């Protein structure tokens, strides 16, 4: 590209800027049509009979700290985890993860008397790019974060194994094993097996397996398959099984903020956790659990519901990926992988350009998640990664925002080459 091409890009950019758009690609949340899919759920619990759980317990009252048996069964069928290993809780899995870490800091984990908070240093491995709120939990608690690169198959397991087996201060790792936030990568069978086989230097090491996008596939005929980590760990014995803390929720199945979250863990882990939870709450919102049970009826009910979400989400992700391909494909200025599910597209631009693209977009009226947000401490060492969240805007706005984003990538890349 020569000087006049750069001038042409700048002219196009100034022209767009003068239109004062207000577009937003930051929000990883369902659009209104997706939320409307679940409205029927608000009508399925109408009278006292609807509140009667299968063991006779009245959902409207206190009781059942670990959730309704029928809710456990629903998630057990959906996620292929034995119901006895599941605790059905409140509206947020992030809340469960936070509490898990706070409990470990204060009381230690099952099998270890020593609270993490008494250690001189506590470290977590953070596959990058990753979910900013995982990193925010660590940052807020003074847990040192160590970035581990993601590969096309999941975290770089040579690095994970080396750090976990050699450093007893490494107490945990964040994982989003299916349709990872933001890369969309699903961990390969080998990666899952290597996680189950970890031999940590710390006896109280835990894997935070955040399966937030377990059933969030776009293509019914082309779903990513995630190996069940619990089955793999069980083959290796209780030490392996006890490493795994599993989380999921219906935030992006029904209503974010008003869904149902679950935690799954070994029997020993759950017993220790429930003993401590006793002081925290008498129980979670069982009426909402009952709404979910009655509305879906079965795990297949949830799977059918997710096909309706997919019909709304496919065109959005196709707008993103087709626009990237059309505008940037083959130009050597950006890399991305079209995801098969989840909520995000991860865009890598030329090193040193992500912040500039973010600023150009911002000034042209397109809000992007801040450059660096997908890395611990907001520090992307190569200043390359941007997270695109296409679910919330309508398709016309999304198309416009993507056109502008691509122009900004071209402009930033060209500026960097000058
Ligand atoms: C990977 C991941 N985990 C957890 C959450 C939040 O889940 P919840 O609403 O259940 O707290 C999100 C939301 O974007 C997410 O992307």
> Following DSSP, what letter does each residue of 295-308 receive, concatenated?
HH-SHHHHHHHHHH
Q: Which of 337, 77, 79 is nearest to 227 (CA)?
A: 79
Where do we find the tokens 């031999």? Answer: 199
User: What's the 415 CA to ligand 1 centre distance in angstroms?
Assistant: 36
CA of 166 to the centre of ligand 1 (A): 30
pLDDT exceeds cutoff 70 at 216:
yes
Indicate whether 217 belongs to any domain: yes
Residue nearest to ligand 1 atom 15, measured at CA: 212
The CATH number of whichever domain residue 260 belongs to comes to 3.40.640.10
- Probe residue for ligand 1, chosen from 212, 250, 257 as the CB with the greatest number of ligand atoms within 8 Å: 212
Name the pLDDT band for 2 (thresholds 50, 70, 90): low
Q: Per-residue confidence at 335, pLDDT binned at 50, 70, 90?
A: very high
- How many domains are there within the chain? 2
Q: Quickly state the pLDDT bin for 5 (edges 50, 70, 90).
A: confident
**Residue where a domain stops, chosen among 297, 327, 356:** 297
Please say whether the dihedral angle defined by the alpha carbons of residues 103, 107, 113 and 114, taken in this order, is positive or negative: positive
Residues 290 and 336 in one domain: no
Q: Does residue 281 have a pLDDT over 70? A: yes
Percent of all residues in the chain with a pLDDT value above 70, rounded to a whole number = 99
* Residue 7, pLDDT score: 93
Using CB distances shorter than 6 Å, the residues near ligand 1 are: 28, 92-94, 131, 176, 181, 210, 212, 249, 251, 256, 261
Answer yes or no: do 203 and 285 share one domain: yes
- Cα 49 to ligand 1 centroid, rounded to whole Å: 33
Distance (Å) from CA 110 to ligand 1 centroid: 25
Long-range contacts formed by 391-397: CB under 8 A, 24+ apart: 391/27, 391/28, 391/29, 391/30, 391/31, 391/34, 391/313, 391/316, 391/343, 392/24, 392/27, 392/28, 392/29, 392/30, 392/31, 393/23, 393/24, 393/25, 393/31, 394/31, 395/315, 395/316, 395/319, 397/23
- Is 7 found in the same domain as 109? no
Which pLDDT belongs to residue 224?
98
How is residue 90 annotated by DSSP? S
The pLDDT mean for the chain works out to 97
Based on the fold, state whether residues 239 and 362 are members of the same structural domain.
no
Regarding whether 203 and 133 lie in a shared domain, the answer is: yes
Pair of tokens at residue 243: 């490493």
Residue 36 lies in a domain: no
Select from 265, 297, 329 the last residue of a domain. Answer: 297
**Residue whose structure tokens are 């909520």:** 343
Domain-embedded: residue 165: yes
Per-residue pLDDT tens digits for 397-407: 999 999 999 99
Co-location of 9 and 65 in the same domain: no
Task: Indicate whether 39 belongs to any domain.
Answer: no
Q: Do residues 63 and 14 both lie within one domain? A: no
Please tell me the distance between residue 93's alpha carbon and the centre of ligand 1 in angstroms: 6
DSSP 3-state percent helix, strand, coil across the chain (nearest 5): 45, 15, 40
Domain boundary among 266, 297, 328: 297
Q: What pLDDT score was predicted for residue 118?
A: 97
Residues 57-78 have a mean pLDDT of 96
Domain presence at residue 349 = yes
**Test site for ligand 1: of 94, 95, 101, most ligand atoms within 8 A of the Cβ:** 94
Q: Is residue 214 part of a domain?
A: yes
Compute, in angstroms, the gap from residue 190 CA to the centroid of ligand 1. Answer: 25
Give the number of the atom of ligand 1 that is nearest the alpha carbon of residue 93: 10
- Can you give the pLDDT at residue 170? 98
Query: Does one domain contain both 258 and 359?
Result: no
Does 165 share its domain with 92? yes
CATH classification of the domain holding 313: 3.90.1150.10
**Whether residue 21 is found in the same domain as residue 141:** no
Q: Residue 293 has what pLDDT?
A: 98
- Please give the average per-residue pLDDT across 179-192, as a whole number: 98
Say how many Å lie between the CA of residue 382 and the centre of ligand 1: 26
* Ligand 1 atom nearest 180 alpha carbon: 1
Question: What is the domain range of residue 372?
Answer: 3-30+303-417
Residues 125 and 273 in one domain: yes
| Whole-model pTM over 0.75 | yes
Q: Ligand 1 center to residue 416 CA distance, Å?
A: 35
Candidate from 75, 181, 247, 250 with most ligand 1 atoms within 8 A of CB, to mutate = 181
Q: Which two tokens stand for residue 277?
A: 């939870």
Residue 207 lies in a domain: yes
**Over the stretch 90-132, which tens digit does the pLDDT of each residue have?**
999 999 999 999 999 999 999 997 999 999 999 999 999 999 9
Question: Which of 137 and 28 is assigned the larger pLDDT?
Answer: 137
pLDDT band per the 50, 70, 90 thresholds, residue 1: low
Any domain includes 85: yes
Which of 75, 97, 133, 252 should be mutated for ligand 1, with most atoms under 8 A from CB? 133
Taken as a whole, the chain contains a residue count of: 418
How far, in Å, from the CA of 213 to the mean position of ligand 1? 9
**Over residues 234-243, mean pLDDT:** 96
Report the share of the chain in percent with pLDDT over 90. 97
- Would you say residue 3 has pLDDT above 90? no
Q: Which two tokens stand for residue 339?
A: 């995801």
* Residues 241, 322 within the same domain: no
In this predicted structure, the answer to whether residue 75 has a pLDDT above a threshold of 70 is yes
């Amino acid at each position: 590209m020569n000087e006049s091409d750069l001038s042409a890009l700048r002219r196009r950019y100034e022209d767009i800027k003068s239109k004062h758009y207000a577009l937003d690609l930051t929000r990883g949340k369902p659009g209104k049509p997706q939320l409307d899919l679940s409205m029927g759920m608000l009508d399925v619990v109408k009278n006292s009979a609807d509140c009667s759980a299968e063991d006779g317990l009245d959902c409207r009252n206190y009781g059942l700290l670990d959730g309704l048996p029928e809710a456990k069964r629903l998630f057990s069928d959906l996620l292929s985890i034995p119901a006895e290993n599941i605790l059905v809780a409140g509206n947020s899995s992030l809340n469960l993860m936070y509490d898990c870490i706070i409990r470990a800091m204060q009381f230690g984990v099952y099998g270890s008397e020593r609270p993490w908070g008494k250690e001189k240093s506590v470290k977590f491995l953070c596959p990058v790019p990753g979910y900013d709120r995982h990193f925010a939990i660590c940052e807020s608690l003074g847990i040192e974060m160590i970035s581990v690169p993601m590969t096309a198959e999941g975290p770089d397991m040579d690095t994970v194994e080396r750090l976990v087996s050699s450093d007893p201060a490494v107490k945990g790792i964040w994982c989003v094993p299916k349709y990872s936030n933001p890369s969309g990568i699903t961990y390969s069978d080998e990666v899952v097996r290597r996680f189950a086989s970890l031999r940590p230097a710390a006896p109280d090491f835990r894997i935070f397996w955040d399966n937030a996008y377990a059933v969030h596939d776009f293509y019914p005929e082309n779903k990513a398959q995630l190996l069940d980590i619990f089955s793999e760990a069980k083959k290796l014995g209780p030490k392996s099984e006890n490493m795994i803390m599993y989380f999921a929720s219906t935030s992006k199945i029904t209503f974010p903020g008003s869904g149902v979250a679950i935690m799954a863990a070994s029997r020993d882990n759950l017993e220790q956790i429930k003993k401590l939870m006793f002081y925290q709450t008498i129980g979670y919102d069982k009426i909402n659990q009952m709404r979910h049970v009655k509305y879906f009826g079965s795990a297949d009910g949830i799977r059918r519901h997710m096909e309706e979400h997919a019909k709304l989400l496919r065109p959005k992700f196709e707008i993103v990926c087709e626009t990237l391909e059309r505008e940037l494909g083959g130009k050597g200025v950006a890399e991305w992988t079209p995801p098969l599910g989840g909520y995000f597209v991860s865009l890598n631009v030329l090193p040193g350009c992500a912040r500039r693209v973010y600023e150009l977009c911002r000034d042209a009226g397109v809000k992007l998640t801040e450059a660096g947000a997908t890395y611990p401490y907001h520090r992307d060492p190569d200043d390359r990664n941007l997270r695109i969240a296409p679910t919330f805007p309508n398709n016309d706005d999304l198309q416009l925002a993507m056109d502008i984003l691509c122009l900004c990538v071209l402009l930033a890349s060209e500026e960097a080459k000058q």
